[in-house]
Amino acid sequence: MTEIFNWAIRETTFVFRKVEATVAEREEHFRSVEGYPYLVVETDRVMGFALLQPHNDPRRWDGCFEDSIYIDPAGHGQGLGKHLLSALVEEARQDERIHTVLALICGNNPASVALHEKLGFKKSGYLRELSFKHGQWLDLNYLQLMV
C-alpha cells in the first residue's frame, strides 16, 4: 500500500504531498485510523485501498470524515475506485459516528470529481492555487455527502 501511495505522490498531482512516505510512516497512519472504515482490494497483491478518517481534529469536527482512495496504476480503468467508494459510502451510512463525508480532490482530477458526484457527493467549495507541484499551481475541490 505504501508503494501505491508513493506512486501517487511521484507521478500525479492528485496528492499534494511531495515527499514519499516510509513504510513506518504509513504503518503509523494506518494505526491512527484503526477502527474507522478501511477497505482493500486484493488479487495476488493489493490493487487499491480506501479509508475514512476524521477530518482534521475530531474534537472540533464531530461527525465529519474525509475519504481517501488509492488505486495501483495497473488497476486503473477497471472500476476499482467505484467499487471502493461505493463500499465506503455504505460503511459510512452504517456508522453512527459519521454524519458527513468530505472528498478533497485536486482541481485537475475530473474523473474523481465525476465518480464522487455519481455516488451523491455535491460540490461544496473550490479553493485556488493551494499547492505547487510538478511545475503547476493546484486547486482543490471540496465535495460533500451527508450520510
Position 58 scores a pLDDT of: 72
Cα–Cα distance for residue pair 69/84, rounded to 1 Å: 8
What cell numbers appear for 29 in the block?
Answer: 497512519
Position 89 scores a pLDDT of: 98
Contact between 102 and 116 (Cβ < 8 Å):
no
Position 106 scores a pLDDT of: 97
Tell me how many degrees the CA angle 147-14-145 measures, rounded to the nearest 5: 10
pLDDT tens, 60-106? 888 999 999 999 999 999 999 999 999 999 999 999 999 999 999 99
Please give the single-letter amino acid code of residue 116: H
What is the CB-side half-sphere exposure of residue 116 using CA atoms within 13 A?
A: 25
CATH number of 2-146: 3.40.630.30
pLDDT tens, 21-54? 999 999 998 888 889 999 999 999 999 999 999 9
Contacts of 106 (CB under 8 A, 6+ apart): 12, 13, 14, 15, 16, 112, 138, 139, 140, 141
Given a cut of 80, is residue 59 above it in pLDDT? no
DSSP H helical segments within the chain, as ranges? 2-11, 23-32, 80-94, 110-118
Cα–Cα distance for residue pair 61/64, rounded to 1 Å: 5
Position 10 scores a pLDDT of: 96
Confidence of residue 3 (pLDDT cuts 50, 70, 90): very high
